[in-house]
Amino acid sequence: MKKDVVEYIAKCMECQRVKVKHRHPIGFLQPLPIPEWKWELVTIEFITKLPQLSRKHDSIMVVVDKLTKATHFVPVKSTHKVANIA
C-alpha cells in the first residue's frame, strides 16, 4: 500500500506543485506598524445571533483602538444595513 501511495503522489501534478521544495523560503515575521495617535487605527467586528434585548438589539458592534486597546460596545440590530450603522 505504501508503494501505491508513493507512486500516486509522484504522478499527481497538484501534489508536485504544493511540495515544500517548490514553496518560498520562510522568513521572519514582520511587525505591524504602531499608530502614533489614539483612534488612528481601529478595528470593527460584530458579535451576532444573540438573544434580543428590549429594544430589539440582537448584535453587538465592537470597536477597538489598536494603540490603547480601548473598546466601545455598541448594541445594534442585525437588520441594520452598513450605511445605517456608519
Q: In this structure, what are the phi and psi dihedrals at residue 83, rounded to the nearest 5 degrees?
A: -65, -35
Instruction: Give residue 20's pLDDT.
Output: 64
With 0-12 CB in 10 A as exposed, 13-18 as middle and 19+ as buried, what is 37?
Answer: exposed
pLDDT tens column, 28-68: 888 888 899 999 999 999 998 888 877 888 889 999 999 99
- Quick one: which H or E segment has residue 60? strand 59-65
Instruction: Give residue 49's pLDDT.
Output: 87
User: Sign of the CA dihedral 35, 70, 80, 51?
Assistant: positive
Q: Is the pTM of this model over 0.75?
A: no
